Amino acid sequence: MIDADVRIGTDTVVGPFAQILGSTTIGEDCSIGACSIIEDCQIADGVEIRPFTMAAHSRLDRGVIAGPFARLRPGNHMAEGASIGNFVELKKTMMGAGAKAHHLAYLGDSEIGARSNIGAGTITCKLRRRRQASH
């Protein structure tokens, strides 16, 4: 399913049962895997979205690889050549150029430096401070 406001560049392949929604733009020579759901994203040239990946309100620069089974919640930016793999979830995260997190990680509210390698089981998140009761 491809919404009317979606723009897709030449030589991009969209797999079966993919949904491309909202005002998504996809560059040239990209691959959108089967059963992926992409909503309101800006995707540059040469990006590979592997099967069963969900992405919303995110920016993926040239040569990014995401998935399979990855989730990009709103507010992410994956710089050129960054990659995430199986069961990696991002929320409000900046992945530097060439950074990678290939499996089983949650990266929330983070800035990952260029060429970093995030190991399996890594979790980052925003800490909330508890308010102390007034006496």
| Residue 131 main-chain phi, psi, to 5 deg | -80, 135
Beta strands (DSSP E) in 46-133 are 48-49, 54-56, 59-60, 65-66, 71-72, 77-78, 83-91, 94-95, 100-108, 111-112, 117-118, 123-124
Distance CA 95, CA 54 (A): 17
CB 47 within 8 A of CB 29: no
Which of these is catalytic: 57, 77, 103, 135?
A: 103
Angle at 5 between CA 73 and CA 90, to 5 degrees: 10
> Would residue 103 show up in a list of annotated catalytic residues for this protein?
yes
> Catalytic residue numbers?
103
